[in-house]
Amino acid sequence: MRSRIQRASFRWVSQRISSLLICSSHGLQITRTQLGSKKGGQSIFRELALFQDYHGLPDFKKALVEFMAEIRGNKVSFDQNKIVLTAGATSANETLMFCLAEPGEAFLLPTPYYPGFDRDLKWRTGVEIVPIQCTSSNDFQITSSALEEAFHEARRRKLRVKGVLVTNPSNPLGTTMTRNELNLLLSFVTEKGIHLISDEIYSGTVFSSPGFVSILEVLKDRKCENSQVWDRVHIVYSLSKDLGLPGFRVGAIYSNDDTVVSAATKMSSFGLVSSQTQYLLSALLSDKKFTRNYISENKKRLKQRQTLLVKGLEKAGISCLESNAGLFCWVNMKHLLSSNTFTAEMELWKKIVHEVKLNISPGSSCHCTEPGWFRVCFANMSEETLNLAIQRLKSFVESMNSQSHHQMLKSSRRKSLAKWVFRLSFDHDHREPEER
């Protein structure tokens, strides 16, 4: 079962590819995208088959940086000579670690963060992650005190901090970073003389205000072009989320530091993008009419789908962090925990997987400091399936409520006048908020 969003998006892409097959293309000097076809009378298959230059297909890098600029409303532009192609963002993030840190050094990451980072950033590189603790008290935004605390924690653990890595928009929060947070981060890395990596792989999934602000935009606004920090900000991108093409393994590192670009380029030998794929996507992303339409249509559908999930969860008495991006919601199920502990979170998670039959991600796997939060994806299934999922969750919550009612009846048989007191307090704490 495929989501309506995906079916339509893929149909769109397939149609684009077909139309490219028929008409002549501009600028790229190709007439067809299929292999074995002709380019000015010469077969391009041979060229592509032999093309293993780690500098990447120039047409593809050009199309990619223009696409990245378009996603940012063209408020910033990128230089195709500063981009390094990698086999997915997984490879990009690991490569940046190899370039920026020694084994045993550390990067600070705001929690909650994508579980894959534990493998991608640490495994073969020997680099450590020290969390920047964010909490629901301010919607998990990064604060300067949290940054300082993380820095000191690293110091206590005798780890030299080489930089901060943030995902913007955030996974798993589904929120864009505020301009305020970005400014805070820039000031922090400037003061400490360290790097900032901004993993912006969800940048094309921002579907409502406040809109996406890239770290490069803030750098530009602060006129940092000639400052030292300019060379210490690096961006990671990928086509896996925005275009829904994780199988094609297309990622990128963007950096203003020539040495980083040079080293990362050589390291990309260990994970180059297939020339066949570079060629296909170069044609796709060079079609500006297509990209313009795709970006806006994709956002509309994501927004519609997110709203479906949010409202459905509301009806089940479940709230989410208010989000404007991503392919998931950060869902608050604290009230369903038997106790405010991660053990209780695990219990709940197991129930949801085995009884409710929904696979959602528990906050602890994302290193969240507060139990009870779960990441729930909404863009990888059909609308019908999503509705079914919501229904199941609603039923589950209702059954938990009636269980607590049952619990109440049991208590009344067992206790003395105190039971009257208990019942009153139980009603207040547990039932009303759930029905919010």
Q: Does 155 bind its own copies (CB under 8 A)?
A: no
Exactly one of 30, 132, 197, 201 is catalytic; name it: 201
199 is catalytic: yes
Pick from 68, 74, 60, 16: nearest CA to 242:
68
Binding mask 164-193 for its own copies (x = CB under 8 A): -----------------------------x
The distance of closest approach from Cβ of residue 232 to its own copies in the complex, given in angstroms and rounded to an integer, is 7
Considering only the stretches 170-178, 203-211, 246-254, 282-290, report the one whose residues sit in contact with its own copies under the rule CB under 8 A: 246-254
Give the span between the Cα atoms of 34 and 20, in whole angstroms: 9
Q: Which is nearer to its own copies, 213 or 264 (CB)?
A: 264
Q: Does 288 bind its own copies (CB under 8 A)?
A: no
Considering only the stretches 115-123, 310-318, 348-356, 361-369, report the one whose residues sit in contact with its own copies under the rule CB under 8 A: 115-123
Count of beta carbons in the 10 Å neighbourhood of residue 372: 22
CA 144 to chain centre: 23
Give the span between the Cα atoms of 249 and 238, in whole angstroms: 8
Give the span between the Cα atoms of 374 and 360, in whole angstroms: 7
The distance of closest approach from Cβ of residue 263 to its own copies in the complex, given in angstroms and rounded to an integer, is 4
Q: Does 14 bind its own copies (CB under 8 A)?
A: yes
Give the span between the Cα atoms of 261 and 99, in whole angstroms: 9
Q: Return the SS3 of 236.
A: strand
Choice from 23, 209, 247, 436 touching its own copies (CB under 8 A): 247
Burial of 226 (C-beta count, 10 Å sphere; 0-12/13-18/19+): exposed
Choice from 48, 69, 321, 344 touching its own copies (CB under 8 A): 48
Give the span between the Cα atoms of 122 and 360, in whole angstroms: 24
Show contacts with its own copies in window 190-229 (CB under 8 A).
193, 195
Give the span between the Cα atoms of 110 and 196, in whole angstroms: 12
Give the span between the Cα atoms of 347 and 212, in whole angstroms: 36
Choice from 75, 119, 311, 350 touching its own copies (CB under 8 A): 119
The distance of closest approach from Cβ of residue 241 to its own copies in the complex, given in angstroms and rounded to an integer, is 12
H or E stretch covering 43: strand 42-43
What are the structure tokens assigned to 354, written together? 């085995």
Q: Residues in the site for its own copies, rule: CB under 8 A?
A: 2, 6-7, 10, 13-14, 17, 34-36, 43, 45-46, 48-52, 87-88, 90-91, 94, 98-103, 119-120, 123-124, 160, 193, 195, 232, 240, 244-249, 257, 259-260, 263-264, 266-267, 269-277, 280
Active site residues: 114, 199, 201, 241
